[in-house]
């Protein structure tokens, strides 16, 4: 199976090389890396250019933000499986894609996800927050649960069937698409109980404070899909992040 990895980037000269190297280091060989740049002016393209012969597609042009860039990548992807890796993020080790393909093949499912750690910007071995995703139970969406989007891999034909990221959700398009796929359409999935992605804190892909706007978008994500959430869904969502900090503390002491 071929795997397409889409990286959206804009003016991120500092981190893009680590991102590219983490894809190149994967033991799984049938990978298509697609980089969608929003028209960077800070030297990002010079860094990407060093790896031009190892990257399947590089597009650089203005876009309407990270989700628009991801959609461009999904549209041109030719892999059987599609994942996204933000320019601030790196895979936790060289076996991530191998584990993804194995999980989807052996479980005969259409998607998979795993754990994610938030790490220090300068020291990616220093864990700030540990997002343990846990096994899939559909009803947990009503308790504010969601898988970490950067660890979410999907068969490409699911996008063709049920649509791309919804750009009406500038803050929560990742939440909306996972709710749509996993909850509304019951797309089959499996959980890989391993850390798949390290996400740098303070980057474009890093969730900021859980704002009123984010809460409203999360609520709209249910309504636009014809679903009825509990009010508690949106109260529990930010609270669910608190144990992640304690888990990070306990993991750093081992």
Looking at mean pLDDT, say which of 79-83, 134-138, 227-231 comes out highest. 79-83
Say what the pLDDT of residue 205 is. 43
Average pLDDT, the chain: 91
Q: What is the pLDDT of residue 243?
A: 59
The full DSSP string for 7-38 is EEESS-TTTHHHHHHHHHT-S---EEEEEEE-
- The whole model's pTM is what? 0.90
What integer pLDDT is reported at residue 242 of this predicted model?
61
Which segments of 5-136 does DSSP mark as H helices, in order? 16-24, 44-49, 66-76, 96-107
* Pairing of β 111-119 and β 31-37: unpaired
Domains annotated on the chain, with CATH? 3-252 (3.90.550.10)
CA distance 57 to 33: 7
Residues 76, 79, 82, 85, Cα dihedral to 10°: -80
The pLDDT of residue 214 is: 82
Query: Can you tell me the distance from the alpha carbon of 102 to that of 242, in angstroms, rounded to the nearest whole number?
Result: 32
In Å, how far from its chain's centre is CA 220? 21
């Amino acid at each position: 199976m071929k795997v397409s990895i889409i990286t959206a980037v804009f003016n991120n000269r500092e981190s893009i090389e680590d991102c590219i190297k983490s894809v190149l280091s994967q033991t799984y060989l049938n990978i298509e890396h697609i980089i969608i740049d929003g028209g960077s002016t800070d030297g990002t393209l010079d860094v990407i250019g060093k790896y031009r012969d190892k990257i399947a597609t590089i597009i650089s042009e203005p876009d309407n933000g990270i989700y628009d860039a991801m959609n461009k990548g999904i549209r041109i992807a030719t892999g059987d499986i599609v994942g996204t890796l933000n320019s601030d993020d790196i895979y936790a080790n060289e076996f991530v894609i191998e584990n993804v393909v194995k999980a989807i093949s052996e479980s005969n499912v259409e998607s998979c996800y795993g754990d994610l750690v938030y790490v220090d910007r300068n020291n990616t071995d220093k864990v700030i927050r540990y997002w343990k995703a846990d096994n899939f139970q559909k009803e947990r969406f009503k308790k504010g649960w969601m898988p970490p989007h950067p660890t979410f891999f999907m068969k490409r034909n699911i996008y063709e069937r049920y649509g791309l990221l919804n750009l009406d959700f500038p803050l929560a398009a990742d939440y909306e698409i996972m709710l749509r796929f996993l909850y509304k359409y019951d797309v089959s999935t499996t959980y890989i109980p391993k850390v798949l992605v390290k996400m740098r804190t303070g980057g474009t892909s890093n969730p900021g404070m859980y704002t009123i706007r984010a809460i409203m978008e999360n609520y709209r994500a249910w309504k636009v899909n014809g679903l009825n959430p509990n009010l508690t869904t949106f109260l529990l969502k930010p609270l669910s992040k608190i144990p992640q900090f304690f888990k990070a503390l306990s993991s750093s002491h081992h």
